Structure 1
């Protein structure tokens, strides 16, 4: 399917290019903000797993449009990312202590007001495996979040909803006043993707989160008391408390349906638009180089 037909099939895809966003996912964050006012009074933001940078673009436009000269936005990803106005980009591992130290240095030792993550693994199609890997990615993002987020701050991350997602809701409920599962209208209804919106960070009493280079997520949250299965003396397993987070659909009903096909509105050019930012490190880069050299048959 070519660019022209995709422009018509997915209006968010075309609108992203028209408005200068690198990916259609920008509208997901915009719709989440419409519902939860995530950017209110926010000056220091960390965007985890940020590439290609559409969420960082939204944050830059929304926060700096309020004339916030002291605002700082840090975008972190293992992949290289083209620069964005008013955003400091770090090519780094979100689980490494040096990454945390660098972010705190940029913030002048001050905590973050808001941390978000739109990261996701390369899906395999095996739903149980994809859900597990995504849950682990959220816990990795949560490690850094608990080290840098101010009390009362907010955290948003992409999730894949599955049969065991209620356990993650329960664990997050120990750390935040309110945990909500949200589905922006820009997110396709056919996708398992949703977003966990965690409002009002509450540090655990008596627990100091500490990132270690060789530590696992299990070891990191040990002692936090956020809930985990335990084996009693009689060898009976004590199950974790499980909860159901409220589910909210975000985005005005008049907004585009991400699963619908549209004809271009009158006055719009029928020509396809080029991407705002070409991939900086695409997974097929080596194959393209080999093809140019005639090494692929």
Structure 2
């Protein structure tokens, strides 16, 4: 019999099995609803990256029988009662149009996304991919969410997470980062609860450059109005920017060339430079130290050296056998 995994020792894993949820992540959405009342007044809901379907289960059970639910994922998912499934790509306009078609032309009241990449263990890479997935979910949300609606998505709290917050605040007046109790403390995952969807006046949803698709050619100079002012959906800068590993000449006005001028006051020599020199040349040992100035303390037991700053070793006087 194989070793038990960490999930099988988790209380939420066992509760999910007992209550019939498809994954323990169902409790994350339940606890978010307890805190923010996400299901109040919801008639149409969208679950992005829905597989295996635990959040769609929560929507179908807790939101009410009259709520229309559409689940979207690239993978096939076992059917759920009251849930319409779309096997499609969230970075395609056709997927957004199909969602609206299932809602009979009406926008959604709530969009949730629990999608996450297959983690590699390289935190910078995982955070970047998750940020791109979140921005893709936000992009399609601007197509299907009604003004005043709510958007909930998973986020990895990395060093550049404030860039995502600032992009979300462009479209939502209230953005809160929450971590449910069922989310493990060892995980950097959290959830952004974006309320009161209010895009800038004149903004037109578009799928420009989703997920940094290099084959999708977009001329940002053709954008007009708020679409031109709002930063495109990019997590780590524009691909057309200069590379950080290359050196480019500094262009000055009037065709002048840049001329280097040394600083007026050079940097101060570090005070520990002499100590580094002594340590590097192995001059801190007792044999090689030319000048040792012992200084006895009041109890005449502690002896300090000028360079070593070490206490002398105690002598062990063992009785002779």
| Common fold: TM-score over 0.5 | yes
User: Is 1:112 paired with 2:108?
Assistant: yes
Contact 1:209 1:220 in 2 (8 A): no
After TM superposition, list the pairs within 5 Å mapping 1:204-283 onto structure 2: 204-211=200-207, 215-216=209-210, 223=227, 225-227=229-231
Question: What is the match of residue 167 of structure 1?
Answer: 163
Aligned to 2:215: none
* Distance in 2 of aligned mates of 1:111 and 1:220: 28
Q: 1:205 to 1:22 in 2, by over 3 A?
A: same
How far did 1:5 drift?
7.2
Q: Structure 1's 114 and 123: CA in aligned 2 closer, same or farther, altered over 3 A?
A: same
Structure 1 runs (4+) greater than 4 angstroms displaced = 1-8, 217-222, 227-231
- Distance across 1 between alignment mates of 2:148 and 2:228: 18
**CA-CA distance at 1:211 after TM superposition:** 3.2
* Residue in 2 that maps onto 1:192: 188
Mark the CA change 1:2 to 1:114 in structure 2 (over 3 Å): closer, same or farther: farther
Q: Give the deviation of 1:6 after TM superposition.
A: 5.6
The alignment status of 1:30 with 2:24, answered yes or no, reads no
Residues 177-220 of structure 1: per-residue CA shift (max 9 Å, x gap): 111110000000000110011011012212211236xx435759
**SS of equivalent to 1:184:** coil
- Stretch moving more, 182-191 or 87-96: 87-96
TM (norm. structure 2) is 0.66
Residue 226 of structure 1 and its aligned partner are, at CA, apart by 3.6
Normalising by structure 1, what TM-score?
0.71
The DSSP-based 3-state class of the residue aligned with 1:32 is helix
Cα distance in structure 1, aligned partners of 2:26 and 2:2:
22
Q: Which residue of 123, 133, 136 corresponds with 2:132?
A: 136
| 3-state DSSP of counterpart to 1:181 | strand
Provide the C-alpha distance between the structure 2 equivalents of 1:220 and 1:28, rounded to a whole number of angstroms.
40
Distance 2:228 2:147 in 1: 16
Matched, 1:40 2:32: no
Cα offset, 1:7, TM superposition = 7.2
Task: Quote the Cα distance in structure 1 between the aligned partners of 2:23 and 2:167.
Answer: 31
Distance in 2, Cα, partners of 1:157 & 1:62: 18
> Which of 183, 194, 198 is the matching residue for 2:179?
183
Q: Secondary structure at the match of 2:129?
A: helix
Equivalent position SS for 2:173: strand
Deviation, 1:225, is 3.3
Change (3 A) 1:107 1:3: farther
Alpha-carbon distance in structure 2 between the residues aligned to 1:175 and 1:124:
31
Unaligned runs of 5+ in 2: 213-217, 242-249, 252-321
Q: The residue matched to 2:152 in structure 1 has which SS?
A: strand
2: CA distance, partners of 1:29 / 1:115: 12
Residue-by-residue CA offset, 1:107-155 (whole Å, 9 max, x unaligned): 0000000001000000010001100000000011011100110000000
Q: Distance in 1 between matches of 2:219 and 2:75?
A: 25
Contact 2:91–2:136 (CA<8 Å) still a contact in 1? yes
Q: CA RMSD in A?
A: 2.6
Q: Which has the higher contact order (CA 8 A, sep 6+)?
A: 1
Q: 1:189 to 1:103 in 2, by over 3 A?
A: same
Moved more, 137-146 or 95-104: 95-104
CA distance, structure 2, for counterparts of residue 19 and residue 220 of structure 1: 51
Report the CA distance between 1:101 and its aligned residue. Answer: 1.3
- Cα deviation for residue 98 of structure 1 reads 1.4
Choose from 60, 66, 71 the match for 1:75: 71
